[in-house]
């Protein structure tokens, strides 16, 4: 890999930060539009329910049918939300992991650095990247510790979506509850019968914000210390 002079490395890190902000803003807008689209579709379902009620004359039967349809709509609503917004979580994690590796590759161009992430042990680019920042680049623990803990917990959610159809084992439940307790309610992150349901775009949006702020802080910390 070609080594960069001080000025060139600083410029490449600055460009990384600028383009990351542009890319993350575009992803945020896409996630927000997905939420708006889904809510509009749900409004159409509610309209059809009202029309169905009008066609039933018997009030007792109308009430029974209404309750049944409402239960079905509620379950379909949750399932569809889980599909739509889980994909947002997966996409955001992929973006963050890609940008983390890209940043580590830029750091590796410094004459001071002789190790790349591929030289480190770890079962993912995420784990190798965090280890690289801690052991090789020596980013301050004040930036790494709490952020990497929450980022790793988000990785657990992503892995349960991709590899386990949203089902949680005991360890992943504890990890999610300890790191995302403020999100676990009927609006933002639902844990239902050992399964995750992500009902809106908030979790993905918050993670996108956390990830980009973390990478920007890492970049600034390195420039302040090494250049």
Answer whether 0.75 is exceeded by the pTM. yes
Tally of structural domains, the chain: 1
Distance separating alpha carbons of residues 161 and 158, to the nearest angstrom? 5
Name the nearest CA neighbour of 54 among 33, 69, 36.
69
- Cα–Cα distance measured from residue 62 to residue 52, given in angstroms and rounded to the nearest whole number: 9
Q: Are 97 and 126 in contact (CB under 8 A)?
A: yes
Is residue 127 included in any domain, yes or no?
Answer: yes
Q: State how far the Cα of 198 lies from the Cα of 195, in Å rounded to an integer.
A: 10
Residue span of the structural domain in which 219 resides: 6-226
Strand, helix or coil at 105?
Answer: helix
In a domain, 1, yes or no: no
Q: pLDDT tens digits for the chain (227 residues)?
A: 566 677 788 888 989 989 999 999 898 888 888 778 777 777 776 676 666 666 656 566 555 555 555 555 556 666 777 777 888 899 999 999 999 999 999 999 888 888 889 899 888 999 999 999 999 999 999 999 888 888 988 888 898 888 888 888 888 888 888 887 777 766 677 777 788 878 788 888 889 999 999 999 999 998 887 55
Q: Angle 202-226/6-54 helices, nearest 10 degrees?
A: 170
CA gap 35, 81 in Å, rounded: 9
CA 182/CA 23 separation, integer angstroms: 27
């Amino acid at each position: 890999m070609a080594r960069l002079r001080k000025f060139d490395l600083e410029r490449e890190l600055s460009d990384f930060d600028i383009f990351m902000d542009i890319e993350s803003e575009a992803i945020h807008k896409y996630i927000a539009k997905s939420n708006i689209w889904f809510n509009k579709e749900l409004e159409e379902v509610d309209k059809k329910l009202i029309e169905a009620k009008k066609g039933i004359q018997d009030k007792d039967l109308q009430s029974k049918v209404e309750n049944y349809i409402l239960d079905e709509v509620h379950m379909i609503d949750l399932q569809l939300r889980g599909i739509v917004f889980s994909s947002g979580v997966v996409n955001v994690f992929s973006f963050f992991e890609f940008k983390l590796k890209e940043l580590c590759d830029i750091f590796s161009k410094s004459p001071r650095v002789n190790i790349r992430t591929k030289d480190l042990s770890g079962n993912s680019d995420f784990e190798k990247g965090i280890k690289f920042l801690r052991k090789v680049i020596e980013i301050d623990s004040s930036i790494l510790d709490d952020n990497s803990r929450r980022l790793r917990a988000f990785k657990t959610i992503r892995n349960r979506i991709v590899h386990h159809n949203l089902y949680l084992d005991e360890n992943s439940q504890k990890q999610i509850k300890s790191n995302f307790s403020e999100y676990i309610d009927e609006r933002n992150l639902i844990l239902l019968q050992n399964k995750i349901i992500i009902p809106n775009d908030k979790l993905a949006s918050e993670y996108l914000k956390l990830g980009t702020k973390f990478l920007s802080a890492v970049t600034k910390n390195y420039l302040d210390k090494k250049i």
